[in-house]
Amino acid sequence: MLDLILKNARILDGSGNPWYRGDVGIQGDTIVSVGRVATEDAARTIDCGGQIVSPGFIDMHTHADVMLLAEPRHEGKIYQGVTTDLLGQDGLSYAPVSPKTLQLLRRHLAALNGDPDVGWDWTTVASFLARFDRQVSTNVAFLVPHCAVRAEVLGMEDRLPTAAELERMCQLVDSGMADGAVGFATGLDYTPQFWSDTNELVELCKVVARRGGIYVTHMRSSLGDRVFDPIKEAIEIGRKSGVKVHLSHQRGDAVGKPHGPKDILRLYEEARAEGVDLSYDNYPYTRGSSLLHSRLPAWTHVGGPDALIARLKDPAQRARIECELDAAGNPWDQYTMASITGGSQKFEGWSVAEAANEAGKPPATYVCDMLVETDLGISFVSPSTSSEESLDAMLAHELATHGSDGLCIGSRRHPRSYGSFARVLRRFVRERKIMPLADAVRKMTSAPALRIGLRDRGLVREGFVADLAVWDERTIADRSTYENPIVTATGVSHVLVSGTLVLENGEHTGATPGRALKPLIS
């Protein structure tokens, strides 16, 4: 007897093919029948009423690395139909490391990932992933983070590794891949990753390629023309190492720059024509988000958080920092503080310029003072760098997958955490009609599953794991906004993770069946 039948569904199987009518039979954590299934053959039947049954969505870019442990229900994602989060993004995560480096990264990344009381007792990728297994509502997969590898071997130093140090970094990447990571991630605008060069990345990616993994990169936006040259560096890394390349949060044109998504996409297509296995993800919003101390000059981060705080407190170095902040031309009136550690949360939602004016300080002075006061604990939502029209081509292209890039902290966090997948299906499919529904679902399911080696997920197919979502394409919608971002999406009635109902009739069940997923490399 089957455990569950999803009856009277329109099955959108994740392949990109149109929906068809049928039932889905589930035994344990596995889909065992798709088509017409007799109701009497199951312990329980759910009548889907003609709703879509699709694979659960895979978030290809998320920053839930530790907050998911603290908030395991993960409601922002579950209510959108997301069943898997890919962690380690931008190279900003926490394994493999020694206990000393873990504490350094805990502090360095708190404004991005949070600093919840979750034990912080792991050292390897295996021990980190074990903290999630059957303890959270969504599955997780993991990318070995460049930040952790570099900090473990070089600390927070502005230099390139020696040959011996680079070999040690390669060993750490290899051990992480052996422990179940699906690839390796960099965030080349963030320290200490900022101080690497292309050769370092090629050598690390050779390890990933040998393991069949993927290289996921927040590219080096400071390089050359700041648009095409960063892409060319990522392509060069793929060409020289043989690794699969995946570009993070690609959103088309930038305000005030003479290029568009067609030019960028042409470069991707040319790379693939030359044999580089390349894909990308993006999120359906024009604004971004990051940690405030990333806006400080790179030299201030040498030595880590203690050294950075000491520089902010030293009058001579403070003067230099403020001068460089002013010269950088940051639009402080458009930087909205999303999360603030300590006693100043009342300023969440204020722009830096507004809060500085309230404090009677120049913006650069206010930023430095607040970073000291909060021990670097501020994140922000940044101004628009692209138009909604420019997103159309990037979302619709066949190489695209979807990711939220969502932070999980702050009362005024970016709405993408709670809305990205529902927004694609509402705004860009139902309303703007930039791509067919079946193709949008493919980009959220089978396409990302194949990119990261999850070969038993991402399709509604016999023998595949029952990560499934039941939803109405006429009503699925995001409700989170920049002013009120912590609001769950609507239109999803049921979500199953490994065959267990996590969302039932639009209500979270409290179940935590999520697994730490490892790639099935063929």
Question: Looking at the structure, do residues 206 and 180 belong to the same domain, yes or no?
Answer: yes
Task: List phi, psi (to 5°) of 385.
Answer: -120, 0
Domain enclosing residue 62, as ranges: 57-287+385-455
Give the type of residue at 143: L
**Residue 341 near residue 110, CB atoms below 8 Å:** yes
- Does any domain span residue 52? no
- 270 shares its domain with 297: no
353 and 394 within one domain? no
* Whether residue 184 sits in one domain with residue 85: yes
Instruction: Please indicate, yes or no, if residue 216 is contained in any of the structural domains.
Output: yes
> What tokens does 201 get?
């990345």
280 DSSP β-pair partners: 247, 400
Q: Which residue among 455, 481, 513 closes a domain?
A: 455
Alpha-carbon span 189 to 274, nearest angstrom: 27
Are 352 and 251 in a shared domain?
no
Q: What is the DSSP string of 435-494?
A: S-HHHHHHHHTHHHHHHTT-TTSSS--TTSB--EEEE-TTT-B----SSS-----BSEEE
Which residues are CB-neighbours of 460 under 8 A, at least 6 positions away?
11, 12, 13, 14, 24, 31, 34, 53, 54, 55, 468
Domain match, 61 and 149 both: yes
Whether 509 is covered by a domain: the verdict is no
Same domain, 199 and 232: yes
pTM assigned to the model: 0.97
Residue 130 is assigned to a structural domain of this protein: yes
Does 308 share its domain with 279?
no
Tally of CB atoms within 10 A around 114: 26
Domain assignment of residue 487, yes or no: no
User: Does one domain contain both 216 and 137?
Assistant: yes
Q: What residue ranges in 351-433 does DSSP mark as E strands?
A: 378-382, 400-402, 406-407
Listed as ranges, residues in the chain with pLDDT below 50 are 255, 522
- Which pLDDT score, from 0 to 100, does residue 384 have? 79
Residue of 500, 380, 451 lying closest to 213 (CA atoms): 451
CATH number at residue 135: 3.20.20.140
Tens digit of each residue's pLDDT (9 = 90 or more) over 343-361:
789 999 999 999 999 999 9
- Find tokens 């020694």 and name the residue: 98
> Do residues 368 and 393 both lie within one domain?
no
Asked which of 354, 382, 410 is the last residue of a domain, the reply is 382
Place of tokens 């009381």: 117
User: Is residue 4 in some structural domain?
Assistant: no
Asked if residue 485 lies in contact with residue 417, where contact means CB atoms within 8 angstroms, the answer is yes
Assess whether 323 and 392 both reside in one domain.
Answer: no
Shared domain for 347 and 408, answered yes or no, is no
Helices (H), 7-81: 67-70, 75-78
CA distance 224 to 512: 46
In a domain, 47, yes or no: no
Q: How crowded is residue 442: how many other Cβ atoms within 10 Å of its Cβ? A: 26
* C-alpha–C-alpha distance, residues 385 and 219, integer Å: 16
Looking at 75-210, list the stretches that DSSP marks H as alpha helix, in order from N- to C-terminal side. Answer: 75-78, 99-108, 110-113, 125-130, 146-154, 163-178, 198-210
| Domain end among 455, 476, 492 | 455
Number of domains in the chain: 2
Q: Is 115 domain-assigned?
A: yes
| CA 93 to centroid of chain Cα atoms | 11
